[in-house]
Amino acid sequence: MDNFATDIKKYLEKIFGNTIDEASERQIYQALMVITRDRLAEKRFESNKKLKESQQKRVYYMSMEFLVGKTLRNNLYNLGYEDEIKHFLAKHGFSLERIYNIEPDPGLGNGGLGRLASCYMDALTSNDYPIMGFSILYEFGIFKQVISDGWQQEYPDNWLDLGRYGLLYRNDEEIEVKFYGNTKEEWSSEGLHIRYEDYTAIKAEPYDLFISGYDSDTVNVLRLWKSKATGGFNMKLFEKGEYSKSLESEAIAESISKLLYPADDNDNGKALRIKQQYFFTSASLQQIVKNHYDTYMTLDNFAEKVVIHINDTHPSMCIPELMRILMDEYEYSWDKAWSITTKTFAYTNHTIMAEALEKWSVDLFQPILPRIYTIIREINNRFCKWCNDIGAAGELDEMSIIHNNVIRMANLCIVSSYSVNGVSMLHTEILKKDTFKSFNRIYPGKFINVTNGIAHRRWLGQANPELTRYLNKLLGVDFIKDLSSIDKLLEYQDDKAVLEDLENIKNIKKLQLAEYIKSSTAIKVDTNSIFDVQIKRLHEYKRQLLNALHIIYLYRMIKFNGLKPYPRTFIFSAKASSGYVMAKNIIKLICSISEIIEADPIVREYIKVVFLEDYRVSLAEKIIPAANVSEQISQAGKEASGTGNMKLMLNGAVTLGTMDGANVEIHNAVGQDNIFIFGLSSEEVEELFKNDYRAIDYYNNNQDIKETIDFMRTLDNGHTNFNYIADYLVSTDPYMCLADFESYKNTQKIVEDTYQDKGKWNKMSLVNIAKSGIFSADRATKEYVEKIWKIEKIK
Of 421 and 762, which CB lies nearer to ligand B1H in the complex structure?
Answer: 421
Query: 200's torsion region: left (phi>0), alpha (psi -120 to 50) or beta?
Result: beta
The reply to whether 223 belongs to the active site is no
Smallest distance from the beta carbon of 275 to ligand B1H, in angstroms? 15
What SS3 string covers 356-401?
HCCEEEHHHHHHHCHHHHHHHHHHHHHHHHHHHHCCCHHHHHHHCC
Q: Could you say which of 61, 120, 134, 261 contacts ligand B1H (CB under 6 A)?
A: 261
Of 166 and 422, which CB lies nearer to ligand B1H in the complex structure?
Answer: 422
86 exposed, middle or buried (CB, 10 Å; 0-12, 13-18, 19+)? middle
The reply to whether 350 belongs to the active site is yes
Q: Could you say which of 267, 398, 704, 742 contacts ligand B1H (CB under 6 A)?
A: 267
Give the span between the Cα atoms of 664 and 784, in whole angstroms: 21
Of 47 and 311, which CB lies nearer to ligand B1H in the complex structure?
Answer: 311
Of 351 and 628, which CB lies nearer to ligand B1H in the complex structure?
Answer: 351
Cβ-count burial 354-383 (b if 16+ within 10 Å, e if not): eebbbbbeeeebbebbbbbbbbbbebbeeb
Element (H, E) at 52: helix 25-54
The reply to whether 782 belongs to the active site is no
Give the span between the Cα atoms of 163 and 171, in whole angstroms: 19
Of 72 and 263, which CB lies nearer to ligand B1H in the complex structure?
Answer: 263
Given 144, 408, 542, 638, which residue is catalytic? 542
Q: Could you say which of 124, 147, 274, 356 contacts ligand B1H (CB under 6 A)?
A: 356
Given 115, 537, 568, 604, which residue is catalytic? 537
In the stretch 204-223, what mask flags binding to ligand B1H with x, by CB under 6 A?
A: --------------------
Length reported for the chain = 795
Is 139 a binder of ligand B1H (CB under 6 A)? no
Of 384 and 448, which CB lies nearer to ligand B1H in the complex structure?
Answer: 448
Of 118 and 400, which CB lies nearer to ligand B1H in the complex structure?
Answer: 118
Is 263 a binder of ligand B1H (CB under 6 A)? yes
In the stretch 92-131, what mask flags binding to ligand B1H with x, by CB under 6 A?
A: ------------------x-xx--x---------------
The reply to whether 469 belongs to the active site is no
Residue 675 in contact with residue 629, Cβ under 8 Å?
no
Stretch of 258-266, 373-381, 499-507, 705-713 contacting ligand B1H, by CB under 6 A:
258-266
Non-local (6+) Cβ contacts of 519 within 8 A are none
Q: List strand residue ranges (DSSP E) for 164-270, in order.
A: 167-169, 175-179, 182-188, 191-197, 200-212, 219-229
The reply to whether 643 belongs to the active site is yes
Q: Could you say which of 47, 63, 452, 594 contacts ligand B1H (CB under 6 A)?
A: 452
Stretch of 27-35, 128-136, 256-264, 712-720 contacting ligand B1H, by CB under 6 A:
256-264
Which residues 332-351 are close enough to bind ligand B1H by CB under 6 A?
350-351
Is 264 a binder of ligand B1H (CB under 6 A)? yes
DSSP secondary structure of 494-508 = T-HHHHHHHHHHHHH
Given 341, 351, 435, 643, which residue is catalytic? 643
Query: 164's torsion region: left (phi>0), alpha (psi -120 to 50) or beta?
Result: alpha
In the stretch 650-669, what mask flags binding to ligand B1H with x, by CB under 6 A?
A: -----------x--------
Q: List strand residue ranges (DSSP E) for 576-652, in order.
A: 607-611, 629-632
Give the span between the Cα atoms of 279 and 179, in whole angstroms: 9
The DSSP output letter for 776 is B
The reply to whether 536 belongs to the active site is yes
9 exposed, middle or buried (CB, 10 Å; 0-12, 13-18, 19+)? middle
DSSP secondary structure of 508-529 = HHHHHHHHHHHHHH-----TTS
Of 74 and 313, which CB lies nearer to ligand B1H in the complex structure?
Answer: 313
**Cα–Cα distance list, 406 to 185, 412, 413 (Å):** 24, 12, 15
Given 647, 745, 763, 771, which residue is catalytic? 647
Stretch of 166-174, 257-265, 302-310, 777-785 contacting ligand B1H, by CB under 6 A:
257-265
Q: Known catalytic residues?
A: 350, 536-537, 542, 643, 647
Which residues of the chain form contacts with ligand B1H (CB under 6 A)?
Answer: 110, 112-113, 116, 261, 263-267, 312, 350-351, 356, 423, 452, 639-643, 661
